[in-house]
Chains A and B, each alone.
Chain A
Amino acid sequence: MTDRLRLTGVTRAYRGGAGVRGVDLDVQAGEVHALVGLNGAGKSTLMKLMVGMLRPDAGELAVLGADVRVAGPDRWARVGAVIEYPLAYGELDGRTNLELAARLRGVPARRIRPMVDDVLAELDLHRYAGVPARRMSLGNKQRLGLAAALQHRPDLIVLDEPTNALDPAGIILLREALLRRAADGAGVLVSSHHLDEVARIATRITVIADGRVVGRLDPDGVDIERSFFALVHAATTSRARS
């Protein structure tokens, strides 16, 4: 197994006390690892830490084998992420947005055009290639942002609530795109509220509550929703007691 991402004892507190504490987590090559939890559980905070949007107070965080604080351009060129808001500039059309995203990820100029054509076809975005992003629906903007994060075939993919605003067709296209990349050796980490959706693609499911990893779910389990709430309830109850 090859580590694409590894968190060891990662802690990051916000003013007021919220945050994540002592989180251990890894994403291996060829797997889709899902992070599930209620709103405010700490999923987005963890993902922000993974791409440097936040710096950890304690613990180690390695991206493609390199400490996140010192990882160089060669490492980041192999990462694709969408966290909070997609890379979609309103004044630019779909194709130009994707071309600029490729430049920012260090893709050589000669490779950009065919790469953008491929991802426009893969995520069924061709009809939006010439449409300014400000005229796209929220779902299509999200699809555009996902295309920007996936088009360069990264080895590590980090997506925060990627199915938000996507229509059913978009969800299926994304699912297939992620499974293809995982089959090619990428490590994929997705966060989600949608347990059914996660169960369809995840190799592993980690449950997070109150800023901590509180357990795992079996993607093939029969009543995944019940198991999820049991884990969250047990974790919050034991924390309240202590």
Chain B
Amino acid sequence: MKIAISYPPIINALGQKAMVSQNRNVQYFKKPTYLLPVIHAQAATWLKQIGFEVVWDDGNAQLKEFQEWFEDLIKARPDIVVFESTTPVMQFYWDLIKSLKQILPQTVVIMTGYHSMRRPDETLLESPTDIVLKSNHIDFILVRVADFISKDPDWRNNLDVEGLQIRVDEESIRSTGSFVQVEPLDKSPVIARELVRWKDYAYENGNFLRTPGTYATSVLRDCMFGKCTFCRYNGPELTFSMMSVEKSLDEYEDLINNQGVREIFDDSGVWYRGREARQFAQGIIDRGLNKKGCYFGINTRFEYLDEETIKLMAEANFRFILLGFEAADDETLQRLNKGYQMEHVEKCLTWMTKYGLHPHLTIMVGYYWQSREQLDLTVRTVRDLMHRGLARTLQVTLCTPLDFTPYHLECIKENVLLAKTYSDHDMSKLIVKTPVPHDEYYAAVRSMYAISYSPKFLFRQVKFLFSWRKRDWEFLFIYGIRALRRVRQHIFNLTQNEGTTAN
């Protein structure tokens, strides 16, 4: 049986490609970042291990045009095709699946992803999709589903794997209930790099200072906090689970020694903390992997790592630390259930900078309650942190309700959603009513990105050079040039609707 795990190239009217990948808000870019969809890659690996023929079919990362990608998929004639959904591209997917099923009616189409898992019936009604997965443990479910389908021709009636919505016939749909993850995450294999063509993702990614870089098999599935209202890692259907430190260390060792990887990023919603974080960093040092010229990066929260842990991580050659700095005002942080406070921010960034890590802030603007004062406070605070060298890089996004997160449901309930179709959720414009005109949020985006060009920021980067850390020199002379290109692109994408929207 042949299974294709497929990411079609989705290109908008401006010729920009959609980045569609795990827990990524869809954004269109001329020069996109290619993100390895980690859980789907684990699923592909596992399916291959148990004997299925797997086609890793990422049209984006493989630089295909849509028509070329579509024709290749038809030629491959897979028995099963797996897609990953998110709100802004749902209409695209439904149309695509109709076209695909006209040509390959026997191919079983399985939809995964955060949008359809929360509205499974919608996708079955709007398209000839056969199965919707209602869990993001795609690897654990797909291996069972594929195995069952390969053995039982009457799978539409008999398939009993939990966590599915199945089209039985033209008239009826049935549910197999909720999927509850019970098996340890260690059971899912680490990613087979050649199978998923890891080098397609190794260069065009702003998280990598050194290339080739890669994403590690995530050590955490879902989030150990899991309560932020805007985040997809929030909901009763999500169950936090953790990979063992030793297994992750083994993968890093293989990536560095056998694949020649020079930067590894773990895109877990939140990486290890406390004892596991220290064990991991110590393990890197004990195995000598901190001396192999490879940097490491993670996502974390401001209040999760203490000074001793940060110091150890720096010694282990961690560099890029991505932190969600959603706002600077307490009301917004409370409404988002974010759980950090400004004193955590200051303390955590001070420790990280002291030991030479490169904190990266991800900021959002445009919450439906965000006042001018709150917005100004966020901009002022970000500017201050960047000028003082406490944060090295940043990215700003427009807070966009999607995938039926609690924030999305709240926007619907409060009747503040301006979007007319799902395609409007593409993060290119604000789609909620706000207390001040939208242009002020776009201006805030512009001014935060402009910090990177300010003399104070640049002077601070030059001062970092005198710490004589190699990474600071690389940051200024390699990453800086690359980042300037990306900053221009981000400003264009996020402010292209400036002056055009009424509020």
The yes or no verdict on A and B being binding partners is no
